[in-house]
């Protein structure tokens, strides 16, 4: 789907809107099926980010990571954290051959931080913490 290349980190609904110019009769349900098929075939990568619908990008096979602003939701690519893919080596693989390590950095983007400085908004975000165990 060409829309995924020109609209990285888009939701299925955003990809649908972007595709309607070229395919006016495209149904949203069809877009969802296409996105699922492209994800299953390894052509798209599904990104699960907190407080957002699934997002999609072309699967480049580079195992890059992402940074998300907790205020505006902006999502940006971040190069591999350390070393070669899968970038991070777990202390215990539980017998699994690890193929991918997904990292999501969460913080405040420069635009939101600048807005905070010019308003009465708190400087510390209300970020929901999740324990991983």
Cα distance between residue 118 and residue 43, in whole Å: 43
Known binding-site residue numbers: 69, 72, 109, 112
Known binding-site residue numbers for Zn(2+): 69, 72, 109, 112
């Amino acid at each position: 789907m060409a829309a995924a290349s020109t609209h990285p980190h888009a939701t299925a609904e955003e990809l649908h809107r972007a595709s309607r110019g070229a395919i006016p009769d495209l149904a949203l349900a069809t877009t969802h099926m296409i996105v699922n098929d492209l994800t299953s075939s390894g052509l798209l990568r599904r990104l699960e980010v907190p407080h957002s619908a699934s997002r999609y990008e072309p699967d480049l096979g580079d195992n890059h990571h992402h940074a998300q602003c907790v205020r505006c939701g902006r999502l940006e690519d971040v190069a591999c954290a350390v070393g070669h893919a899968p970038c991070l080596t777990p202390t215990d693989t539980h017998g699994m051959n690890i193929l991918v390590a997904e990292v999501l950095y969460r913080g405040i983007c420069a635009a939101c931080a600048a807005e905070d400085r010019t308003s009465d908004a708190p400087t510390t975000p209300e970020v929901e913490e999740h324990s991983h165990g």
